[in-house]
Amino acid sequence: MNESSYVIETQGLTRRFGDLVAVDDLNLLVPKGCIYGFLGPNGCGKSTLIRMLTGLLRPSSGEATVLGLTLQGNEELLKSRIGYMTQKFSLYDNLTVLENMRFVAAIYGVKDKSRISTLLAQYDLEQQQKQLAGTMSGGQKQRLALACAIMHCPELLFLDEPTSAVDPQNRRDFWEHLFDLSENGTTILVSTHYMDEAERCHQLAILENGIKRADGTPRELMQSMGATVIEVTGNDLRSLKQKLTDIKAVISASQSGTRLRVLIDDSIAEPIKLLSPVCQQYKLEIVRPSLEDVFVTSTGGRHVG
Ligand SMILES: Nc1ncnc2c1ncn2[C@@H]1O[C@H](COP(=O)(O)OP(=O)(O)OP(=O)(O)O)[C@@H](O)[C@H]1O
């Protein structure tokens, strides 16, 4: 892939707050037209990274190129080419949907008179256009926020945990809009701590304590995670879990209903044999890895119980 195929390139990007390193020596390549996810728990540095890449926060050190421009010194130029949907609803609660949209259109100097009506129709907001934004449901607010973030047809769109306040149906609908934008050439960076959301990304980076632990397509990450997944079915899983986690090659064991999902280091050639002595009353089955398994292995099993 040549240089211009990447919309974002960072080298050693770092941001410190006092002694805390919020983003640590990050190297990132985001291909054009891709939906790229940052997956990580609260506080791992997702918002700090997005704020740096949008030019709102100065890096402590390192380099970043965004849309072919060095970030430092080009913040203003970039503003017209990028969109940003913040974690919190950042529009005016006491303005109507239409007033909010007109305001955003004016800020970005959008000349196209039909842009607002196109977005109202696309984002199913026509019925709400005279409603105060503050009185809308979570899903409607989120659609309005997205419509406003893309008012000026940005080439690159940043979404910071866009679906944390909405139900699964609204989350699915929201992702349909993201796929439409991506099909039309918009590159999208989305931060999330939801596995299902991360699985929809074309590529993603797993972050922990500001450090990139792994990156690639969800499929690549699952194929190369370095662990075998065994599902254990039976009763009294709580005490079994303790026995299993005492085995050195067991990376983690997490319960879901009547099953334990056990991750075993893939240097073990016969993982079922390894577990059999403590699992005599149980059914053992090797299953396909999920993105959550990748997350657990790349963060050393520290975030899932
Ligand atoms: N302005 C600031 N001053 C001091 N510390 C900060 C500042 N902004 C962020 N941090 C710290 O940097 C770390 C990363 O925060 P950040 O908001 O980037 O994480 P996040 O992954 O986006 O988390 P969340 O999902 O909870 O927003 C946290 O420990 C946070 O407390």
Ligand 1 near 47 CB (within 6 A): yes
pTM above 0.95, yes or no: no
- Among protein residues, the one with the nearest Cα to ligand 1's atom 16 is 45
> pLDDT tens for residues 222-240?
988 889 999 999 988 988 9
> How high is the pLDDT of residue 223?
87
Domains annotated for the chain, with CATH where assigned, are 6-221 (3.40.50.300), 226-288 (3.30.70.100)
Ligand 1 near 45 CB (within 6 A): yes
> pLDDT tens for residues 162-204?
988 788 888 899 999 999 999 999 999 999 988 888 999 999 9
Percent of the chain with pLDDT over 90: 75
Provide the 3-class DSSP secondary structure of residue 241.
Answer: helix
User: What is the whole-number distance in angstroms between the Cα of residue 71 and the centre of ligand 1?
Assistant: 21
The one-letter code for the residue type at 37 is G
Ligand 1 near 20 CB (within 6 A): yes
Q: How confident is the model at residue 4 (pLDDT cuts 50, 70, 90)?
A: low
User: What is the whole-number distance in angstroms between the Cα of residue 45 and the centre of ligand 1?
Assistant: 6
- Among protein residues, the one with the nearest Cα to ligand 1's atom 14 is 45
> How high is the pLDDT of residue 106?
95
Percent of the chain with pLDDT over 70: 97
Ligand 1 near 48 CB (within 6 A): yes
Exposed e or buried b for every residue in 138-172, given b needs 16+ CB within 10 A? ebbbbbbbbbbbbbbebbbbbbbbbbbbbeeebbe
Ligand 1 near 86 CB (within 6 A): no
State the chain's mean pLDDT as an integer: 92
